[in-house]
Each structure stands twice: as structure tokens, then as C-alpha cells.
Amino acid sequence: MSSNRLRKAISATLLCGGASSPTPSERRELNEALNESMPSFQSLLAFTPPSDSARAELDEIEIPDALNSDEDIEMVLDMSDELHLNVTDCVRLIQSAHQEWASIGGAPQDILKHAIRLWFKERREILEDLYTLLRTAVLDQVEPEIQSDLVKFLENIFSNGLRQRVLSLLKELNREEPADLVGPHSELCVLDSSGVLVRREDVLSLEKLILGHCLCLSTLVVGSTQDDIKEIFLSLKDCLSYLGHQTTRHQVAVSLLFSIVIAFVSGSPNASMVTLEDSFKNEFHEIVMATGCDPNVEGFLGCIRLAWAAHMIVTQDLDHLDSCLELVFQKNVFQFISDEILGTAAYQNHDDEDMSYIYNIYFGKLITCLVSHPLSLQRVRQSKDMAITSQGPETVPLPFLSLLGLVGKIYEKNQELLSGNYVLWTFVNMVGEGSLNFQTRVAFLNMLSSLASSQESTSKVFELLRWSDEFETFFAHLSSYHARFLQLAEEEAKELASYLNILQKVVEHGNLLELDSFAYVEPLFKLLLSGAPPYVKGALLGAIKAFVHVSPVLKDEIWEKLEEYGKSGYMLRVYDMQFELNEVEAMIQNYPSTISFLDLLNTLLLEERDLDCLKQSCVAIFFWFIYNDVFRLFPQREYTDPFQKWQLVVACLQHFHTILRLYDISEEGINSYLVNSQHSTVIPIVEFLEDFTSGNTVFQNIMCILLPGVNELISERTNQLYGKLLEKAVQLSMEIIVLVLEKDLLAVYQWRLLEVMLSLDFNQILALLEYVGYYFEPQIQLCSIKIMSILSSRVDGFVELLLRSNAASSLIGKYAACLELRSEVCKSLEDASEPAILIMQLLEDNISQPAPNITHFLLHFDLESPTGQIVLQPKFPHSCLKVILEILEKLSKPKVNMSLHESGFKLLYKLCSDAKTHDSMMKLLRGKEYLFFAKHLDTIGVCPLPEEHSLCITSLHQRTWLLKLFAVELYVGDVNGSTDPEACDSILEHLFGHANVENTKSKVLELLEIVQSGLRDTSMDVNANLDMFKAWSDIIEISALRRISSLGQRTEVLYQIIVAALTTYPACNDKMREGLCRVALTCMIKLRDERFLFPDDDLLKHILKIFEHRSSESLIVRQYGLLLSFFQYCQNALDPDIEIDPPDPDRLMNQERADALAEFALANFSILRKEAQPILDLVISDASQGSEKKKTMSLYVLDALLIVDDEKYFLQKLQTTGFLRNIIESLSDQEGGYSRELMQQARTLEAKLALLLRISHTYGTIGAQVLYSMDILQHCASCRAMSIFGMTTFTPMLRLVFSLLVLIDRYDILEVKNNIAREVANFVKCHNSIFDDLLWEEGDEEPRELARSIVSKVWRFDSAFPCQEAVAASPSSSPQKYSLFFICCIVVMIFYFLLDLLHCIFYSV
């Protein structure tokens, strides 16, 4: 079987949709995959059948442990019987089915059906791979080097018998023989790729068609031999014997026919024309000249005769040419080709445009050969003479007339084949020479009309007719036609219609500079007034329609003519249009006039954007004619040709659709309609909506179109000539329903909404929803998805209704199949006009809706139990969920499916974030079947960004959602306690592992480099980088705070993250810088527990360097927070009171570690001194002039600097700059300034007091003297902040004053001692009420003890000192008792402040 490796390589290189050229590695992978798959291609679908004793054969092979149960053994045997397949392959398929059901579970019968589905899927895939390789090699859809490699590979496998194997398979499939197909007990239906039962015959028919296409394409790659031609001819005859009316069989027959035509006419570009031996020529000529009675066999044999004649012309071997051509014209093979090949639904509705294009090319080659050689051209002239001399109508089409019709059909849709085709245009000129009778003239004009379908060919046709004065004569007689139409013969009417068709083509495609458009339009309208037959009126209206696009002035004149004739009582008045439709066309059951009129009106409407009152009145009249007379009655009318029935329906629906799309409704329009019950004289939008939502004419007929369902549409689309028109009618009907659903909400109080009308019969809703399974036209699927989205939000209990219906499983399968198919097309999936993207949007939008919602339904969660009591579980093997997981597992066609992949990751993230589905989804993603997290981290997570701008942005979005999934697994699982610890540890190991391996980076650092690479691209979307960075930073913070303790080398990891974050900092914008600071701060705080890590000196340098980028307050606050955290980390590591190691007999090692710590402290201080001036200037500036937050943080930074300032370096800086005096003086300026942001101002005051206390503590008596010299006691005494902040700020002030008491004992001079004591006493007096409360009332222990200590120290120095009684009653307090306590309080205060800051930063994200 074709390997997954080959399919992936084909997808990347051959089906990339032209997004970009394949890379050298992709091309190398393709070549390796092709070589690996060569045996599978050479033995195409050749499998060993079961032995006589399958059970004995089963005993001889090794069975996997997972399939050792008795049920599995029976499944293998049943499958062998059903598929007529050996047990070895059956074991493999059963095992694959088990693996896909592993996380869900299933009954044995379900697994067996799924295994059979895998079998047919494998067969289909290898055939599709072969077809893709052939088509690419033939149509030059890739670079020359890749095409050359493909051609060599295909030549190799076809030269080694693959063509014979294909022919053998076709024969087996045609006869439905058991070999390689079915067993004696096979069922009629099998599961298709969507999990829906389909007929086995349809599956095999598709295999036959692919084989036929492969055979045909192979003749263009590798030349056929005469033995090949003989075998193909016999296969064709064999196929024709089973032909019947089956469309696929007819298509297979056509592919076999062209395999012979190509071999005879041109052969392979890489080989010369096939060389035939004389014996083969004689034998083959006898075969093709033999006639039979079976019309199908005789018709296809006639095509072979034409190809055989073309071969003789090309090779100039003319011995049998004359007899062959005689039989070709005698049997009129041209009419067979026109009717039974080109005119069949099998050909016209063929969806493989590449094959249709090849067929048309070789039909054109046959015609060119026929009219290029003198002998064959003489035969053509003879048939022309016969047609001219024939009298009266012929019961059998004449060969010449059939030839002209065939030429028109071949080239009408393949205009590129006319360019430079001198031979064909010479033939066209020859046909027009001389006098022609009525039949040949009409046939000639019809051929010219078909040929004139491009600007170049139309120019040639126009020149031909003008050169022969045909056009001038025609238009000169227009007025006479009008005057004598009642006596006009049928021949003249047909000729006139042919000229009008040419005129339409000339106007649509030609150069109008030489046409007097106004002179032509007037006579055309006049002719509409005469008694012309309907087909002439249809041609007239078609010609008028062509002039609509010529100019706006001419368009307005056509509007005026319509209105004029509507008022004048002429042919276009409503009554007369009704008469024409109901009395003329209905009698002959042919409606060309009405169809052309509707096309004209729709064309005019589509060209208008703002209708004036005159045009609106005209449109309103025509609307009611279309509504009442055309569309309302179309199901009851009789039709000679059902094709015209659907032409009428499509024209009506197009009119309604245009009205709804271009013109809106308003409340005024609704009110006007309710007051006036008569038909509106303006465009009747409101009337239309009311009719539709009331279930009247339009609604009923549209539902009649839609209710047959998607399977009936597929059948009609495939097997009927009108199939594509019916498809268009269904598409327009679905679009109209969507438009009505979008517009009817405005009229909710006037009539019931459309969903209410649909809900009266839920089968109507199901019919609309199941069109998502119509894979021929994505627009129909798109409408069905939109209807699902609207109804699911507006119909109560919608999901419950779906579950109770019999179509629930089918609908789930169709959505999954649609998603899977659209992900495989060679088209960029970029916007909401793509069904796959709309399905993903539908699933995403409904996740948060109350359960059960449409997302749960389409993903096939278990909805059978009460949803409020269970956790939803996925249970269906083929659903949108499984398809999404497979898409993300393969990540195929990344260049075209980028948006789809992004939507898939986003949906999984939202499912994992939802409480109802989190546990089950996480369990599924962690499972062995997917290994989702590890696999995708190694693939898309850290792979380089694409070079293309749009792909790069989408790739960043993919990684963003993937990282968010990681964060959910780590965070939510930890909070709920439901996550598997091993799974989290595995994720952490993948993210942070390898940090201690030399020359290896952890994944988190590689992910940060991805963000950096995006930043280096100046054209990159900043938001895409920012989103990925936020997701990355969330993972770091969650891991650092909650999970990183499980990593063995966590300290090294944390350090590397900090360094990487700070290194990335300069290249980022402000938002990302804030995030980097937050990440570094988190890791730094976590490092405080890792006391014995000795980072190099560069860490502090990196931290100081980030202060060069200061653009916002929040960023500056985070910078200060990081710096503070680093200082605290260093302080913890250097604190001499903390035991360095547990008791260790080896004291030498502890001493060495202590020496290293001291060296580290000295190095840090040296860096600080070196960088001191710029940093200190910034800090002082912020502390003096910044906002309250800046002041607070900068003051704490100064406090931290003073801790290590053993040399009084920073103290001197604060003194010389005057900053310290300003801080002290500001204490007395606090009064009255606290009307706003009181809490932040209180923190600023606390920070000031902490800084002053730090000076007193760090520098001892010297520090106290410095503070006292700046009158600190006086400023503390005059501070009135206590009246606002209370004890929050007074306690720190008490600590500060208490620390200054040391000066009283320090000085021996009594006067100085007394002065200091009196200033302290003055401080007490100024805050007398607070001291009274502290000394007499119960309260916090620390401020009471501080107050008592202060008062007891200074009361004796002042006889008028207050609180003496309280002091006397208080026990004496020792300053030494509290000095260490005060310092610890300051440290604790700073620590908790940082924790509070980190908490705010983390949860603000």
C-alpha cells in the first residue's frame, strides 16, 4: 500500500497550491518516498487471497498481543471471508482499527466495519497517489526538475508491467469478480471515510474511474505499444458490454477510448509515434471496419475509426484511409460524439477538469487531422454538397451539419485551442464559401456563435461576416423583419435567431468601437413587439442583455425601454408577459422567451446600486410577475426539456436572491406594509419576507427543491444533464434561506420568524443541515453550516432535537467528512468563505454555551447522561474531533492549511479550558495514541518560522495556542488536583530539560528565540509576537511558581531564563519588556530558595542595562522590582546568620563556600560602584519627582543599596546631592496632600521612613548623627500624616525616632545630650494624643513598647513632659532589646511588599 510518507511528500511538493516552490529537502523526501513505494505501485492492489483453511493460516503467523482474544480472531476470519483477503493483511487492518478506537472503545462489529473502511481507504489512497503523479507529470504543474524526476519514475514502473496490471484490474472490476474485491458473504454497503454507509458498488465504481484516468494519462507519459493498444481496445469492448446507463461506467469507457486516441494521434511527448507492424494494421483495420447492431458499441467503434483515420493521416500511411472515412461519414460518428459523448451528463458533469481538458484537446486534434489533409477534406466537401442539395427536413442528421455542430461544441468552452489554429479557421472559411441553403446557413451561423466566445475568436468571426456583408445585410433587414413578422417563414426566423446569437457574442466579447450600439438596441426592442416565436424573442432579449455592460448610458436607455413598453400596452406589459408565458410557451412546453427576460432583468439589477423611483416601480411590477406566474407555478408546468425547467427556477431564485442581497428592510417599510395591504410600488422586500416566513409560495417551492436531500442531489448532479442547474438552484435556495434568517429579526413583532416555520417539521431542518455533505459545491456546504450556526442559537433545545432524530450520526459524519475533505484540497484556507474555517468557527463559538451545545454534538461527546452530573466524554471514532486531531497530527500542506491548523490548536485550547470538557480532553491528548504535547513541541513548537510574511504570522498564532494548551495543563491541573503528575513532569522535562547538557538549549529558550526571530522582521505583526510571548511567559511563571521543584537542575534553568529574558529585552516593545521583567522577577524570587547558586557577574550588568529603556510607569516599576529581587537574592545568599550548609564534618568545604560568597558580594558591589552614577541619578530623580509608585520603588532600591554600602559610598552620594535633606524635609510637608491615592502615598511615606531607618541602622552612630544634623526630629514632630494614615505610618516613625536615642548616650556634653532629649520630647508632645492611646490603651505590642521606650528615655529631661504617670507605670524598656527586632521588621516589610507586587503583576495578566 502507498505509505503515509509518500502521501505527505506528495502533499508538500505536488499539491502545495502554488504557495511557493518546494524546498530541496522536500524534493529529496519525495524521491525517497517514491523509491520506497515502487513495489506497491508495481503490484498495484495485488493481494494474496485467503488459503483454503484461513484458521490454519492464522495459526502460522505471529499475532500481536493486542489481538489475542477470541473475538479478535473471529473478526479476522470474518474480514477474510468478506474481502476475500489473506489473514495477514486482515490482522494488520484489525490492529489499526483497534488503535483508532483505543481511547474510545467499541463493539467488535464496529471495529470490523471500521477495519473494512480502512481497507477501502488504503486502496483509494494508492490509486489517488498514482493519479496525482501522472497528472502532475502530464500537465507541467511543478518545476521542470521535479517533473523530470516524476517522468523517470513513471516510465520505470509502467515499463515494468504497471499498464497491464491496470488493465487487468479494470477487467476484474468491470465484471465484479471476487478476486481482490469481495467474498461470498460480503455486504452490499460499507463505511466510507466519513463513517457513513454507502453502496459497495459506488466505492468500486470510483476505483474503476481512477484506474481509467490513470491509464489514459499513462499514454501521455509512456508511449503505448501495439500490444497495449490491442489490450485497451479489448478492455473497451468489454466495458461497453456492461455499459448500461451507469454514469461512471460511461466515464470509464471514455477514458479507455482516449487511451487509444492519444496513442494513435500523438503518443507520448517523450517517445515517437507508435510503430505498428503491417500485420497489426491489417488485423486492426478489419476489426474497426466490422459493424454491429449495438448502438453503444457501434458508436464508440466509430470514434476508434475516426482516430484510426487520423493516425493514417499523421503517419501518411493512406492505404485504408478512404474506406475508413467513408464508414465514418456513413455512420455519422460526429453526431454520436456530439450526442452520446459530449452531450451526456457523464461528460458535461465530469468534475475532473484536467481530464475534460485533455479530452477536448484530442477531440480538437481529431477534427484538425480530418480537415487538414486533401483526401479527408475532399470527403468533407462532398458531405457539404450533399447537405446543400438536400431538400426538406431530414429524419437523420446529415454528417456535414453534425460536423459543424461538433466543431462548435468542442471549441466553445476551449477557446485557447482556437488561438493560432490556422487549419481550423481555414476550414471555417471554406464552410462559409459559396451559396448555402437554409440548413447549412443556420448550422454555419450556430457554429460561428459557438466559436465566438473570446475576444480573439470573436474578432475573427466578426471580420468573416463583415467581409461577406452578412452583418450589414442582417441589420439592414431588421426593420423589414418587424414589418413582416407575421409572414416570416420558419427558416427566416431560425436564421434571425442565429444572427442574434452571434450579435450577443460580438457585443459580449468583441471590439465595439465599430458598432453603433444605440442603432442596434432600438430595432431589437421593436422586434419584441412583433409576433415572433418564443425562441426568437429569447434571442432578442439575449442580445439586448449583452448591451447592458457596454455603458451606463445604454443601460439606462434599456431601463427606459422596459418602462416605456410596460406603460404602452406593448409586449412587455405584465398582462402580455403573462399571456406569452401561459398561453404561448406553456402550450409548446418550451420557455426560451421567459428565461431570457429573467436573465435580462437580473443582469440589470446586478448592475444597479441605487434604483430611482422609476426603476423601483418597474422592478416591483416585474417582481410580482416572477412571483405569481413563473415561480409559483413552475412545479405544475410541463416541460419538453427538463433543462429549461431548471433554467427558469434558477433565474427566479437569482432574482429573489439579488433583491434580498442588494436591498434591505426598515421599520418604516414594515409599518407601511402593515397599513397598506396592496402590492408595493417599490421593491417588495417586506412582502417577500412575510410570504417566506408564513410558509407560502416561495417557501413551499424552495423547500420542494431542497427536501429531496443531498443524496438525491448527488445522483441528479451526476446522472442528469440538468444536474448542474439543479445544483445552482439548491445553492441559491440555501443562500436565500440564510439571507432571510439574517433579515427577519427586524420583523420579529410582526410575524413569526423563519426558524419557527422550519421547526413545524424538523425534517425540513435536517434536510438543510445535511447539505453539509454535498462535496461538489463548497458554497452549499457553507450555507448549511451558516444555517446550523443560526438555528442552534435561536431554536430552544436544538441539540436535543438533533439527538432524537435518526440523522444524528449521519450529520456528525458529514461534518467530519466536510472538514477532512476541505483540508485536503489544493486551496488556501484563509477566510470565512471556506467551509472548513466556518466549521471551526462554529465549534469555537459554541463551546461556552450551556450543555449540551452544538460543539459537544459535532465533536460527538457523550450526551446521553444528564449533562450537569457528568464530565463529557468523546465517544465516536469518526467525528470532527478525530479529524481535527488527525489534521494536527499530520500538519499536511502547511502552506495552504496554516489557518486551519491555527483554528485547530485554538479549538483544543478552548476545549481544555472549559470545565465540562477539560478532564476528558486532557486525558485524550496525553494518551499514547496522540502524545500531543511532546510531539507538537518538537515539531511546530521550535521549528523555524516560515519566510513568507503571512505564513509567519499564522505560524506564531499556532505556537501561541499550543503554548496556552501547555499552560492549561500545568495550571488548571495543579489547581484541581486532577492532572496526572507524570504527564506534568513529562511536559516540564520537554520544556526545561537539557539545560545542563553542553551546547544544548532547553525548549523554553528555543521558543524565546522564535519570538526574537519574529522581532527581527520589521514587517512582522507585533501583536502576533506579543501573543506568543504572553503564552510563553505564562508557562514560565506557572512552572516556576508551582511545578519547577520537580526538576533536578531547576536552578540552572531559572538562571538561563533570566539571562535570556534580559538579553532579549532591548529588541522588544514596551509590553513585551514588561513581560520579560515579570518573567525575570518570578524566576529571581524562586532563586531565593536556591542559596548556593553562584551566577556570574554579568547578571547584575544585564539587570542594570535594562534601565536604559524607560518609557512607561508600569515598566519602570517592574524594573525596580527586578533589581530589588536581585538584591534580596544576594542578601539571602550572603546573610551570615543563615547556616550555609547542614552540619558537615568537613569544615574546610564550608569555609571555601563562605569565601566564594564573600567574593561574589565584592564583585557585585564593584559593579554597583562602576554603574552607580547613572543608576543613582535615575533612582534619585524618580524618588524626588516621579509618581507615587515610582517614588516608593526607587526609595526601596536606595534602601537595598545602603545594605551593602560598607564603604559609605552611597550615603555620601545621597548627602552631596541634597537628596537626603529633601527626603527629611518632605516629612513635614505631608499634611493636606492625601486627598487621592491615600494608600499609595502611605506606602511612599513608609518607604521614606524605611530608608532613613536603614541609614541609622547600617551606619550606626554616624548615620544617626547625619540624620540629626538635618533636623530630622523637628520634621518628624511637624509631620501630620498620622492624622490621615494612623498607625500604618506612625509605627515606622517610632522605629526611626527610637533608633536616634543612641545619640543621647553617645554624647558626653550635657547640653548636646539635653538638646537631643528635648527634641525627642517635643516629638512626643506634638503627637501627645497618639502616645496617650499607646500608653494607656491595649493595642499592638510593638508600637506600645516603642512609645514606652522613647518616653522613658527622655521624660526626665523635661519637667513639663506629658505622660509621666503612664511612663512611671510602664516597665523600663531597653533599646538593645528591640534593635534587632526593628531591623527584622523592616526586612519583613520589604519582603511582603515585593510579594504583593509580584501577585498584582501576575494576576493582572
Cβ atoms of 179 and 49 within 8 Å: the answer is: yes
Q: What are 762-815's pLDDT values in tens digits?
A: 899 999 999 999 989 999 999 999 999 999 988 888 999 998 888 888 899 899
Which own/partner pairs from 899-904 qualify as long-range (CB within 8 Å, at least 24 positions apart)? 899/829, 899/830, 899/837, 899/954, 900/823, 900/829, 900/836, 900/837, 900/840, 901/940, 901/954, 901/958, 902/954, 902/957, 902/958, 902/961, 903/837, 903/840, 903/841, 903/844, 904/840
pLDDT at 175: 61
Q: Which regions of 89-218 does DSSP assign to beta strands (E)?
A: 189-191, 197-199
Whole-number percent of the chain with pLDDT over 90: 28
Which residues fall within 8 angstroms of residue 506, CB to CB, at 6 or more apart? Answer: 452, 458, 461, 462, 515
| Rounded-to-integer distance, Cα 621 and Cα 629, Å | 12
pLDDT for 114-134, tens place per residue?
A: 888 888 888 888 999 999 999
Q: Is the pLDDT of residue 16 over 70?
A: no
Mean pLDDT, to the nearest integer, of 1137-1142?
A: 42
Instruction: Specify whether the CB–CB gap between 948 and 1018 falls below 8 A.
Output: no
Question: Which of 595, 561, 589, 560 lies closest to 577, judged by CA?
Answer: 595
For residue 1355, give Cα distances in angstroms to 1276, 1323, 1347, 1348, 1362.
Answer: 18, 12, 12, 10, 8
Computed from CA positions of residues 225, 273, 374, 408, in that sequence, does the dihedral angle turn out positive or negative? positive
Give the integer Cα–Cα distance in Å for 715 and 1172: 84
Is it the case that residue 616 has pLDDT exceeding 50?
Answer: yes
750 touches 689 (CB < 8 A): no
What is residue 223's DSSP assignment?
A: P
Which residues have C-beta within 8 Å of that of residue 378, sequence separation ≥ 6? none
C-beta separation of 410 from 367 below 8 A:
yes
Q: Mean of the pLDDT values across residues 139-157?
A: 88
515-529, 875-889, 1188-1202: segment of lowest average pLDDT: 515-529
Mean pLDDT, to the nearest integer, of 1288-1306?
85
Whether the Cβ atoms of residue 428 and residue 464 lie closer than 8 Å to each other: yes
d(CA 784, CA 710): 11
C-alpha–C-alpha distance, residues 336 and 482, integer Å: 39
Lowest mean pLDDT among 255-269, 424-438, 1235-1249: 1235-1249
H/E segment holding residue 117 = helix 108-139
Strands (DSSP E) along 784-882, which ranges?
none
Q: Are 584 and 534 in contact (CB under 8 A)?
A: yes
**Mean model confidence pLDDT for the chain:** 81
Given a cut of 90, is residue 58 above it in pLDDT? no
Q: Is the pLDDT of residue 499 over 80?
A: yes
Residue 575 has pLDDT above 80, yes or no: no
Helices 422-432 and 353-372: angle between axes, nearest 10 degrees: 60
Q: How far apart are the first and last CA of the chain?
A: 51
Could you give the residue ranges of the DSSP H alpha helices within 626-641? none
The Cα–Cα gap between 376 and 370 comes to 6
Per-residue pLDDT at 1376 = 44
Mean pLDDT within 693-709? 90
Res 544: pLDDT: 92
Task: Name the grid cell of 912.
Answer: 481544555
Q: Give helix 808-822 / helix 835-845 axis angle, nearest 10°.
A: 130
Closest CA to 572 of 609, 608, 604, 606: 604
Percent of the chain past pLDDT 70, that is, above it, reads 79
pLDDT digits (tens, 9 = 90+) for 306-353: 999 999 999 888 888 999 999 999 999 999 999 999 999 999 988 888
Put residue 1283 in one of left, alpha, beta given phi > 0 → left and psi -120 to 50 → alpha.
Answer: alpha
Q: Are the CB atoms for 457 and 416 separated by under 8 Å?
A: no
Report the C-alpha gap between 1085 and 1126 in whole angstroms: 8
- Range with the poorest average pLDDT among 166-175, 887-896, 1163-1172, 1332-1341: 1163-1172
Total Cβ atoms within 10 A of residue 1396: 11
Average pLDDT over residues 1341-1351: 84
Residues 1261 and 1348: beta-carbon distance below 8 Å: no
Phi, psi of 1168 (to 5 degrees): -60, -45
Please report, for residues 41, 137, 235, 751, 1389, the alpha-carbon distance to residue 214 in angstroms, rounded to integers and kept in the order given.
12, 12, 14, 58, 81
Strand, helix or coil for residue 861: strand
CA–centroid distance for 1135 within its chain: 58
Q: What is the pLDDT of residue 752?
A: 57
- Cell 543599596 appears where? 1201
Question: Rounded to 5 degrees, what are φ and ψ at 15?
Answer: -120, 30
What is residue 589's predicted lDDT score, i.e. its pLDDT?
94
Backbone angles phi, psi at 1204, to 5 degrees: -100, 10
Other C-beta atoms closer than 10 Å to the C-beta of 1084 total: 27
Q: Which pLDDT score, from 0 to 100, does residue 1131 have? A: 67
**Closest by Cα among 1252, 1157, 1259 to 1205:** 1259
pLDDT band at 1375 (very low <50, low <70, confident <90, very high): very low
The pLDDT assigned to 1000 comes to 66
Q: Please return the burial class of 613, using the count of CB atoms within 10 Å of its CB with bins 0-12, 13-18 and 19+.
A: exposed
- Please answer whether residues 690 and 673 qualify as being in contact, where contact means their C-beta atoms are separated by less than 8 angstroms: yes
Reduced to 3 states (helix: H, G, I; strand: E, B; else coil), residue 197 is strand
> Residue 191: CA atoms inside 13 Å, Cβ hemisphere, count?
21
pLDDT for residue 1148 is more than 80:
no
At 976 the three-state DSSP class reads helix
∠713-716-720 over CA atoms, to 5°? 155
Instruction: Provide the 10 A C-beta neighbour count for residue 1387.
Output: 15
Cβ neighbours for 14, distance < 8 A, ≥ 6 positions apart:
30, 132, 133, 136, 141, 142, 146
Higher-confidence position of 260 and 506: 260
Q: pLDDT tier at 595 (50, 70, 90 boundaries)?
A: very high
Q: Answer with the residue of higher pLDDT: 599 or 551.
A: 599
Report the distance separating Cα 926 and Cα 954, nearest Å. Answer: 25
What Cα–Cα distance (Å) separates residue 354 from each residue in 131, 200, 823?
11, 27, 21
Gap between the Cα atoms of 233 and 119, Å rounded: 31
pLDDT tens, position by position, 529-543 = 777 889 999 999 999
Return d(Cα 1067, Cα 1048) in angstroms, integer. 32
Q: What is the pLDDT of residue 176?
A: 55
Q: In this predicted model, what pLDDT tens digit does every residue of 880-925 receive, in sequence order? A: 998 899 889 888 777 778 888 999 999 999 999 888 888 888 888 8
Handedness of CA 838, 843, 849, 854 (dihedral sign): positive
Q: Identify which of 230, 217, 221 has the alpha carbon closest to the alpha carbon of residue 288.
A: 230
What is the amino acid identity at position 711? N
